[in-house]
Amino acid sequence: MQIQKSEYVPWRDRAFVSIAEAGEIVARSTDWVRNRVAEGRLCGCRITPGGPLVVTVRSLVVLVDSALLAAPAARGPRLYLAVDNTLEM
């Protein structure tokens, strides 16, 4: 019996992601993700009774996008103009 590999689906195109996947997406631990679910900042559910807890992608997108909006704008290196105003006589 040969196992067929499924095609990769980008996380924003899914309905749900696992707790571990959500942690990878936001670069946080699974405990951090579970705490956000407990706080109500992420929506977690069980697709089947007794199944693993998953996170809705819709709630994850809202969390990620709000973090991006709140982050300070990335700026390049600051440039300074140095002028020598000494008068030669």
| Averaged pLDDT for residues 32-60 | 96
Residue 19: predicted pLDDT: 97
Predicted TM-score (pTM) above 0.75: no
User: What is the pLDDT confidence band of residue 4, given thresholds at 50, 70 and 90?
Assistant: confident
75: three-class secondary structure by DSSP: coil
| 78 against 35, higher pLDDT | 35
**Strands in 3-66 per DSSP E:** 16-18, 44-46, 53-56
| Averaged pLDDT for residues 10-25 | 94
**Phi, psi dihedral angles at 74 (to 5 degrees):** -70, 130
Percent of the chain with pLDDT over 90: 62
pLDDT surpassing 60 at residue 40: yes
